[in-house]
Amino acid sequence: MNEVLIYALVTLAMLGTVLAVILYFVAQKFKVIEDPRIDAVDEALPKANCGGCGYPGCRNFAEVSVKSADEHKNLDGLNCPVGGNDVMKQVAAILGLEVAEKDPMIAVVRCNGSKANSPAKLQYDGPSTCAFAQNLFAGEGGCPHGCLGLGDCVVSCDFDALHMDPETGLPVVNDKCVACGACVKACPRGIIEMRLKGRKDKRIYVCCINEEKGGPAKKNCVVACIGCSKCFKVCPHDAIVMNNNLAYIDDEKCKLCRKCVEECPTNSIHELNFPPRKPKAEPAEAASVKEKSVGAGVETATEAKNNQSEPLA
């Protein structure tokens, strides 16, 4: 009985030793030497694995950064939007490089077709995904470019930065936004854009992407851009371009002078986080309207403003 036990133990011990020796040599032979800087860079990254940098996960971004540092001696084209400049500086320090500061970005919802501004003409009761509704029809309000309000962007956001406002039926971006760009990809209509966060969070943008002519655009939504070019003419910095009946403000050229905001006849240009305007000799009504949009949190200059019903320009 004892003999059997001893044989078994000895055999197992010998087997273990032999295999351990083999494994040791195999491990030496096939050793993977990984750059320790990859681990260091990975450690510095926010580990959100959001894909905002364009690479599948933080680890891959770290690998690509190290590779870029070795091959090109720079980090051009690599940016972690979640970590921002701080993280990129750390990454650059690990790799012994300098990195240019990037202006932070934020997601901007370019549609103000709220329930009040673009009233529903029909009811949709299908599955609540914008991707499907986009194939099916133009939208409850009838605008073929407007927000469908079914929240594909909200589902796509990993940072809790987008929410549906039940009152307007539009998504609202809060300051948790890290500009990863998931919502931009998720929106089937391309309404969400990444724009510069702006000096002191001040931003001016055209809150509409409707490319129809003025008449049809305004038929479905009172705050649509009608392509009248008034803002284009008034802009002293050449920051506004007109394309397909739609104004677009270049955020790099815009100097935040707010002249276009005053000029827009449909109030489709929004200003965010500006101090209240001093009441000028303007018509009282228009001034009061503008005050409403001032300082309205981080995003969307609220709704309303539909009390203006002047003829089309």
Residues that bind another protein (CB under 8 A): 121-122, 125-127, 129, 131-132, 135-139, 142, 144, 212, 216
Rounded Cα distance, 19 and 5, in Å = 21
Beta carbon nearer to another protein, 140 or 193:
140
Beta carbon nearer to another protein, 245 or 273:
245
Rounded Cα distance, 73 and 91, in Å = 13
CB of 214 to another protein, least distance (A): 14
CB of 37 to another protein, least distance (A): 34
CB of 217 to another protein, least distance (A): 11
Rounded Cα distance, 231 and 247, in Å = 8
CB of 126 to another protein, least distance (A): 5
Beta carbon nearer to another protein, 135 or 243:
135
Beta carbon nearer to another protein, 54 or 127:
127
Query: ∠ CA 20-24-27 to the nearest 5 degrees?
Result: 135
Query: ∠ CA 190-252-240 to the nearest 5 degrees?
Result: 70
CB of 265 to another protein, least distance (A): 23
Rounded Cα distance, 268 and 263, in Å = 10
CB of 17 to another protein, least distance (A): 47
Q: Which two tokens stand for residue 232?
A: 């284009």
